[in-house]
Structure 1
Amino acid sequence: MAGCNCGNNLEFDGLSVAYKRILWIVIAINAVMFVVEVGASLASGSMALRADALDFLGDSLTYGITLMAIGHSIRWRASAALFKGVTLALMGLWVLGATLYRVFILGIPNEAIMGSVALMAFAANATSVLLLLRYRNGDANVRSVWLCSRNDAISNLAVMLAAVVVYYTQTRWPDLLVAAAMAGLFLHSSTLIIRQARQEIQADRIGRKECVVVASRPERQLP
């Protein structure tokens, strides 16, 4: 209908064969790194690695949701992004709670395992970031993928830095502080994703109402 968007979104919505192929590659990278980091976190006793492993798992699952949402309506895609934002917030709260619990438990993480695995994880996430770079400004569903991958790369650098500080100080505090900072990053990104998703849902609702109003108006008869 002329002059009525009727819920159409001008932002990239992921409906691209190339984007779907990249997303499958990124999902595979995240799934492999989840397995690697779970083992490494148990072997090293690092909360930062455990938080990063959980992030890899969350990314694998939420990227799968992104794939399922592609091609659906704006409301469906925004709702999927909203779910991912809430999930990311829950992950952040879990990591924060687990870190606070670990504060009261003695034990220094193995900095060699922390650093080497964090370097491997950074390489994996840097590859994902480069693959997704051109799609970073899409709708909430697409943008959430970019934000998660960007966060992961930042987190890996922080874990590597923590490993260096643990080596020189021989204390567990750098590891715990990085884990807490990662939890804060999860919560911040979840806020951005949820805010954009709610805006898109609201815009879609308003657009549908406008379409109904326009459609209900009687056509003007020509004299």
Structure 2
Amino acid sequence: MGDNCCQKKACELEKLRKQQSKVLWTVLLINSVMFVVELLAGIKSASLSLTGDSLDMLGDALVYGSSLYVIHKGRKAQAKSALLKGAIMFLSAVAVFARASYQLFAGSTPEARVMSAVGFIALLANLLCLFLLTKHRNDNINLSSVWLCSRNDIIANTSVLGAAGLVFLTNSLLPDLIVGFMLTIVFAKSSGKVVSQSWRELQQA
């Protein structure tokens, strides 16, 4: 009876891990494609917010890759992976801040139409990722930190669309700069939260 129970639990755990792996591979592919799309569009349109969001997509792709690596490993490995995610979020914040500082001195106004079109596509892509990840957000710290990354993407995409609208109305680069600096703050705060959670998990492990 006990052996059957253990076997059943092991089968259920393996099934859950396969589901998690499938979801992570899907969102990894989506974010990798969107990183290239947004980066090229951000450079072409001189948009800080699009460029910043593309870096976020790259960071997320790395995050999902590390999550796949530790999906069959223990709590300690998953906590280390979450710590890496926190570091990637922080580096994204630094990169966006650096780009914002450059844009401020360059003074070029971004192309609102390109920002709107690509920002909308990115929003749809990230809504799909969030939907796929929500089911597994409470499975463990690995999936919890991944879900938080995806939630940040929705905030970033919405901000990009808002900035595009304001750029179009005002013909000014300031809305794009403001959103860029706001993304820096969001990334930095999320980084602190993930690092704190993963550090506690490491201490317990």
TM-score normalised over the length of structure 1: 0.83
Using the alignment, how far apart are the partners of 1:41 and 1:93 within structure 2?
17
Is 2:27 the counterpart of 1:26?
Answer: yes
What is the aligned residue count? 192
Using the alignment, how far apart are the partners of 1:93 and 1:32 within structure 2?
23
* Helix, strand or coil at the partner of 1:151: helix
Match of 1:151 in 2: 152
Match of 2:135 in 1: 134
* Helix, strand or coil at the partner of 2:135: helix
CA contact (8 A) 2:34 2:54 kept: yes
**CA apart distance, 1:97:** 2.1
CA contact (8 A) 1:34 1:53 kept: yes
Using the alignment, how far apart are the partners of 1:141 and 1:187 within structure 2?
19
Using the alignment, how far apart are the partners of 2:80 and 2:16 within structure 1?
17
After the TM superposition, which parts of structure 1 deviate over 2 Å for at least 4 consecutive aligned residues? 137-140
Using the alignment, how far apart are the partners of 1:60 and 1:122 within structure 2?
16
**CA apart distance, 1:42:** 1.3
Using the alignment, how far apart are the partners of 2:88 and 2:158 within structure 1?
23
Using the alignment, how far apart are the partners of 1:98 and 1:32 within structure 2?
22
* Helix, strand or coil at the partner of 2:106: coil
Match of 1:212 in 2: none
* Helix, strand or coil at the partner of 1:135: coil
Pairing of 1:56-205 with structure 2 (within 5 A): 56-204=57-205
Letter in 2 for 1:142: L
**CA apart distance, 1:25:** 0.5
CA contact (8 A) 1:15 1:70 kept: no
Letter in 2 for 1:193: V
**CA apart distance, 1:72:** 1.2
TM-score normalised over the length of structure 2: 0.90
Using the alignment, how far apart are the partners of 1:61 and 1:201 within structure 2?
21
Letter in 2 for 1:132: L
Could you report, residue by residue, the CA deviation over 1:46-94 in whole angstroms, capped at 9, with x for unpaired residues? 0100000111111111110000011212111101111111121111112
**Larger of the two Rg values belongs to structure:** 1
User: Structure 1: which 5+ residue stretches go unaligned?
Assistant: 1-11, 205-223
User: Structure 2: which 5+ residue stretches go unaligned?
Assistant: 1-12
* Helix, strand or coil at the partner of 1:104: helix
* Helix, strand or coil at the partner of 1:59: helix
CA contact (8 A) 1:15 1:71 kept: no
- Report the aligned-residue RMSD: 1.4
CA contact (8 A) 2:17 2:72 kept: no
Could you report, residue by residue, the CA deviation over 1:138-189 in whole angstroms, capped at 9, with x for unpaired residues? 3322111101111111110110000000011110000011011111111111
**CA apart distance, 1:15:** 5.4
Structure 1 window deviating more from structure 2 (130-139 vs 59-68): it is 130-139
Letter in 2 for 1:190: S
* Helix, strand or coil at the partner of 2:53: helix
Match of 2:52 in 1: 51
Letter in 2 for 1:18: Q
Match of 2:3 in 1: none
Letter in 2 for 1:161: G
Using the alignment, how far apart are the partners of 1:50 and 1:203 within structure 2?
38
* Larger helix share, 1 or 2: 2
